Amino acid sequence: MSFYSEVTLELTRAEARLGFGGRFGAGMPRTSDGQLLFLQHMLAHRFDPQEDHSRVAIIMNGSPLFTGDAGSGESEIRRWIIENDWLEAIIALPEQLFYNTGIATYVWILANRKPARRRGKVQLIDASTFWEPRRKSLGDKRRDVSDEHRARIVQLYLDFAPGEHVKVFDNADFGFRKITVERPLRLNFAATPERIARLEEQTAFQNLARSRKKKPAERTAEEAAGRAQQAAIRQMIHTLPDTLYTDRKPFLRDLDKAARAAGVRLTKALRDAILAALGERDPSAEICRDSKGHPEPDTGLRDSERVPLQEGVGAYFEREVLPHVPDAWISTARAHCDGKDGQPGKVGYEVNLNRYFYAYTPPRPLEEIEADIQASQARIVRLLQELKA
């Protein structure tokens, strides 16, 4: 990044810290893509709801439509625009329209005072097929939007009527709540040679033989004491019963009993290191619980769900999650309640036009595919025979 870019970035961040006292109060997108930043700049200059009716139109690529998860700068900017009911329409343009890029582009149309029939609504227009080939390409620009195509796009926008190339949605249809789904930790434990060997890889166990003393004599003495403690722990573990524990509570009781008998003091870090080395995930094992009896979450099974904003989180969870994983629950430790109704989940917004205009094309019948394969095989055999001849 050049010095000029670094200075510009710091000035932009400083203005963002002013909130809506500056131009970038809604959020900061990632530094590699400033399109939504420029859109905020346009809205700040031409979008005072107290003034006369204003409209803003901007052409951007697909990134600002869906880049960024819930709570990210991009999502928060989209949320600010949509919840303020400023987004009127998004028009998908054909590819290969511009000299230096062939990617898809989109026109955003925003209004600070929507007409009555458009309030609370967003119009999506798929004009990606409205093009004609150029007689001579200019770099990546190989297509043009003719006057007839432009007139058709404008008419679709003005008609505001759902159809083949037009979809109309409520603002909330683009919103979702991201919830964290937890599943309980289930472990079995055994003092097998393979698992005991894994203790050597645990950082807390390795740190016993490491010293931060600066004086060589003190460092040597501390490291020697640590190695002696490591040996005592190894010996203590070998005294554990040769059995497979499918419940952590009895294993911990036997571990503490063995430590007392061996005169070994186990800190929490060492205890956790032993549990990590001797434990393995086991779906049939008992649930591991904390001191209050609550199930402990398994971070390896942690997942997330996107709940449509217009649907209750509880109803969605019971319908979409619990039938598949009955022991799951919505995390409260990682929950956010930034929606107006107080439901859990971090609110996000995205507009994925491809999803709304996707038209399923069924595959060809298997018989046709098989016939093509057989024809290709026959042609290959014929060509080989001609070569041999």
Domains of the chain are: 3-174 (3.40.50.150), 187-281 (no CATH)
In terms of phi and psi (left: phi > 0; alpha: psi -120 to 50; beta: otherwise), the region of 173 is alpha
Pair 125, 90: CB distance under 8 Å: yes
Instruction: Give me the pLDDT at residue 186, please.
Output: 97
Distance CA 152, CA 130 (A): 9
Mean pLDDT of 321-333: 93
The predicted-structure confidence for 237-251, as pLDDT tens digits, reads as follows 999 999 999 999 999
The predicted-structure confidence for 33-74, as pLDDT tens digits, reads as follows 999 999 999 998 876 666 677 899 999 999 999 999 999 999
Distance CA 280, CA 245 (A): 10
Of 357, 370, 361, nearest to 168 (Cα)? 357
What's the pTM value of the predicted model, to 2 decimals?
Answer: 0.82
The rounded radius of gyration (Å) of the Cα atoms in the chain is: 32
Burial class of 276 by CB neighbour count within 10 A (0 to 12, 13 to 18, 19+): middle
Of 47, 48, 87, 93, nearest to 175 (Cα)? 87
The predicted-structure confidence for 197-219, as pLDDT tens digits, reads as follows 999 999 999 999 999 888 999 89
Burial class of 261 by CB neighbour count within 10 A (0 to 12, 13 to 18, 19+): exposed
Distances in Å between the alpha carbon of 301 and those of 159, 187, 331? 49, 13, 12
Pair 127, 93: CB distance under 8 Å: yes
Tell me how long the chain is: 389
Q: Name, in order, each residue with C-beta under 8 angstroms of 185's C-beta and a sequence gap of 6 or more.
A: 287, 288, 295, 296, 297, 298
> Residue 332: which pLDDT band, with cuts at 50, 70 and 90?
confident
User: Which of 99-103, 177-181, 318-322 has the weakest average pLDDT?
Assistant: 99-103
